[in-house]
Amino acid sequence: MTSKERFVEIFRSQVTRPGAGELLAWLETTDFFEAPAGAKHHGAYPGGLVDHSLNVYDQLLIDLDARAYSMETRAVCALLHDVCKADAYHLEGRRRKNPDTGRWEDYRGYVFRDPLPMGHGEKSVFLIQRHMELSDEEALAIRWHMGAYDEAYRGGSRALGAAMDCCALVLALHQADMRASQEEKRERGTPHPYGGGAADGCAEGV
């Protein structure tokens, strides 16, 4: 079973609310199932985004704090938290200096260009709710899944702490995302040849 097939199977079996089919059909019109999870570090290869989404799902299933939530809610949050990355990464020819030879060489790398620069978690919430409603807790968890790496938090916003205080799912999804990212880095060991492009437009590793 491919990663895409597993994603679709989980989504169709767990997410049954109105609009779920429309959301899945929309994902098919994007590069979600072929996109990387980032321009460098974890998931910087074709299909890295869907692999990462599934890894977060697996991590959230074993999170004790998340078990109070339905399987549908956990599937929605884990599988869709990074839909903001669809259609945002582009493979381009680039130049770099080989540190071993000192010579310039051509390579193919991912470049981040966001067609809808709305942010990260907040963009995922917006895109999902174009097709399917989220509960307040689902929206909070997806919005703040980057935790302290979120630009609003780094800019001084206190909303992250308030969200974590009122909704255990916020921290649970963030921790599942971080564990999945670190596990992906360990498994791959070395950067993928498509990695090393321009910055992601968000913190790497989340």
For the chain, domain boundaries: 3-188
pLDDT bucket at 201, cuts 50 / 70 / 90: very low
Distance of CA 140 to the CA centre of its chain: 15
Q: What six digits make up the tokens of 181?
A: 């990212």
Q: In this model, does residue 49 exceed pLDDT 90?
A: yes
Return the pLDDT at 188.
72
Q: Taking Cα atoms as reference points, which of 75, 78, 88 lies closest to residue 32? A: 88
pLDDT value of residue 149: 82
How far is the CA of 38 from the CAs of 86, 105, 182, in angstroms? 11, 22, 13
Per the CB < 8 A criterion, the answer to whether 120 and 83 are in contact is: no
pLDDT for the residue 196:
42
Residue 194 has pLDDT above 50, yes or no: no
**What is the reported pLDDT for 176?**
97
**Tokens representing residue 108 in the block:** 């193919």
Q: Is residue 206 scored above 70 in pLDDT? A: no
Query: Rounded to two decimals, what is the model's pTM?
Result: 0.86
Let me know: does 142 contact 167? Beta carbons within 8 Å: no
Question: How many residues does the structure list for the chain?
Answer: 206
Listed residue (96, 98, 151, 88) closest to 122, CA to CA: 151
Predicted confidence band at 189 (pLDDT cuts at 50, 70, 90)? low
The long-range contacts involving 56-65, CB below 8 angstroms and separated by at least 24 positions, are 56/81, 56/173, 56/176, 56/177, 56/180, 57/10, 58/180, 59/175, 59/176, 59/177, 59/179, 59/180, 60/172, 60/173, 60/176, 63/172, 63/175, 63/176, 65/168, 65/169, 65/171, 65/172
Mean pLDDT of 185-195: 58
pLDDT higher than 60, residue 76: yes
d(CA 110, CA 46) in angstroms, rounded, equals: 10
Q: If residue 137 lies in a helix (H) or strand (E), which one and from where to where? A: helix 136-143
pLDDT tens-digit readout, 94-149: 888 899 999 999 888 899 999 999 999 999 999 999 999 999 999 999 999 998 88
Average pLDDT, the chain: 89
- Cα-based distances in Å from 10 to 29, 30, 52, 56, 79: 19, 19, 14, 13, 9
pLDDT digits (tens, 9 = 90+) for 31-46: 999 999 998 777 889 9
